[in-house]
Amino acid sequence: MFDSVESLESKLTSVDSLENLSSPLENAKRAASYKAMDEHFLPLLLAKIPEWSKLSTIQEFSAVQPLVVGIGSGSTVVYAAERLGEIKSVFNAFLNDLNLICVATGFQSENLILNNNLRLGTLAYYPELAIAFDGADECDPQLGCIKGGGACLLQEKLVALSAKKFIVVADDRKKVPYLSYGWKIPIEVVNNAPTFVEHQLKKIFGKDLKECVIRESMPKKAGAVVTDNFNCIMDINIGPVHNVEEINNKLKQITGIVETGLFPNVNCVAAYFGNSDGSVEKILHQ
Residues designated catalytic: 156
Beta bridge partners of 121: 103
CA distance readout (Å), 71 to 37, 76, 119: 11, 11, 11
CA distance readout (Å), 62 to 111, 118, 205, 246: 24, 16, 52, 43
The nearer residue to ligand R5P, 94 or 263, going by C-beta atoms, is 263
Closest C-alpha to 133, from 77, 66, 75, 67: 77
CB of residue 25 to ligand R5P, shortest distance in Å: 10
Rounded to the nearest 10 degrees, the angle between the axes of helix 24-52 and helix 77-90 is 40
Measured CA to CA, the distance from residue 171 to residue 169 in angstroms comes to 7
CB of residue 196 to ligand R5P, shortest distance in Å: 24
The residue type found at 61 is F
CB of residue 56 to ligand R5P, shortest distance in Å: 39
Measured CA to CA, the distance from residue 155 to residue 157 in angstroms comes to 5
CB 31 within 8 A of CB 14: no
Dihedral class, residue 164 (left if φ above 0, else alpha if ψ from -120 to 50, else beta) = alpha
- Burial label for 96, CB within 10 Å (0-12, 13-18, 19+), is middle
CB of residue 137 to ligand R5P, shortest distance in Å: 5
The nearer residue to ligand R5P, 134 or 198, going by C-beta atoms, is 134
**In this structure, how many other beta carbons lie within 10 angstroms of the beta carbon of residue 266?**
13
CB of residue 8 to ligand R5P, shortest distance in Å: 29
Interaction site with ligand R5P (CB under 6 A): 72-76, 134-137, 147-153, 156
The nearer residue to ligand R5P, 28 or 95, going by C-beta atoms, is 28
Residue whose Cβ sits closest to ligand R5P? 74
The nearer residue to ligand R5P, 110 or 156, going by C-beta atoms, is 156
The nearer residue to ligand R5P, 140 or 156, going by C-beta atoms, is 156
The nearer residue to ligand R5P, 152 or 197, going by C-beta atoms, is 152
CB of residue 136 to ligand R5P, shortest distance in Å: 6
